[in-house]
Every structure is written in C-alpha cells, then in structure tokens.
Amino acid sequence: MDNFKLSTMEIKTYFKDGFAATVEIDERNGAPAGTLTHNITNTNMGSTEAVNLNPVTNPVIAGDNTYEKWQKIDVTAMGGSSEIDNLQVWRTGALGGSAVHVTNARTSSYGGAETYATPIVTDSTLATQTMPSSDPAAANLGIGGSLTGSITSAGSSDYLIHQIQTNSADVAGSTSTMNYQYDETA
C-alpha cells in the first residue's frame, strides 16, 4: 500500500481578463429621461446639445457658453474587483482667451447627486466652480451623492456637469484634455 503524506504545495493562478473592472464614460442628452450614450468618443463642447459633437460645425460665439455636459463614470462589470471609489476629474491644457470651465465637481461642499435635467446653454446653476487644471488629489465627484461613496457592483457615479463659458474678447477655440480617474480595489 502506498503511503500518503500531507505536504504543502504551491498553487499558482493567474487571471486572464475579467480581473479588473470595466469602466466607461457615458453622457446623457435631450429632455428627461433622455438618451444615455455609453462609451462616448470625446467630450467636445459646442453650441449644440449633442454627444460626440463636432466643434468646428458647432462653434461658440465669443461671449456665449457651450451647452452643459452631463456625464458619468459607469462601471459595466466589476470583474474580480470589489470596489471603485475616489473619483477625480480635471482638465489639462489651456482654454482659448479668458474662457472659464465650470463644474459641479469639487472636493468640499459637494452638492450631492444631481437629478438629470435638459442641458442648458445659459449660465449653469449647478456647474459653478472652476474645473481643476491638475489632479485635485482627492475625490471631487461623488458616488451615491457622497465623495466617500463607492461602487461595489455594476453601477455609476453621480453626474459630472460641466460647461465652458467664453468671453466676448475670445478669438479662438482650444483643444484640451478631460481626465477621469478612479481607484480600484481588487
């Protein structure tokens, strides 16, 4: 009869895909409930209320605003991860002239989750703070209305609302980059 003895053994596993969460940026447009476009291609801002717009064919007259953008970070699958949190958004690159980029994102006095409303071209009443031009180093977009909220199953962030407000002296558009960042816990 063979003798069996207990021993330790190394178990190796590796994860092929499915390990990390799958995350996309979505944008809602139109009158409520509106159309939610998943996985947007860009966040171009312009004089029309549309997703993935062409800024050349929809330019903003100097002194006017762009339409608000209502976007969110959407987790379509958690993969093997347990939590997504610490959402941070900011823009890098200069705007043309003295235009300002405003948002509801902020690291303090956060206003909570906003209910979707048709994006407006007049001064936003919700996007009232300047968009950070560098990593804010702390959450500035909430989940479930709170900056300390987290996503633990497929779901999405609060709405990120932002708008560019130009000055009548502005003479040219600009190209800059929106950054959307999250932390993920395996």
Partner 1 sequence: MLKEIHKCSPCDGSFATKVEYVAHKCPVTGHNPAEIEHQDALTDGAFSKTSEKALERGALRKGEETHPAAGK
CB 158 within 8 A of CB 89: no
Residue in 12, 32, 115, 171 binding partner 1, rule: CB under 8 A:
32
Asked whether position 83 contacts partner 1 by CB under 8 A, the answer is yes
User: Closest approach of Cβ 46 to partner 1, in Å?
Assistant: 17
Asked whether position 86 contacts partner 1 by CB under 8 A, the answer is yes
Asked whether position 134 contacts partner 1 by CB under 8 A, the answer is no
Of 131, 34, 44, which is closest to residue 88 (Cα–Cα)?
Answer: 131
With CB under 8 A as the rule, give the number of residues binding partner 1: 34
Burial 169-180 (b: 16+ CB within 10 A, else e): ebeebeebebeb
Asked whether position 120 contacts partner 1 by CB under 8 A, the answer is no
Residue in 61, 94, 137, 186 binding partner 1, rule: CB under 8 A:
186
Separation CA 128–CA 163 (nearest Å): 9
CB 45 within 8 A of CB 66: yes
Which residues contact partner 1 by CB under 8 A?
Answer: 17-18, 20-24, 32-41, 51-52, 76-77, 79, 81, 83-86, 154, 181-186
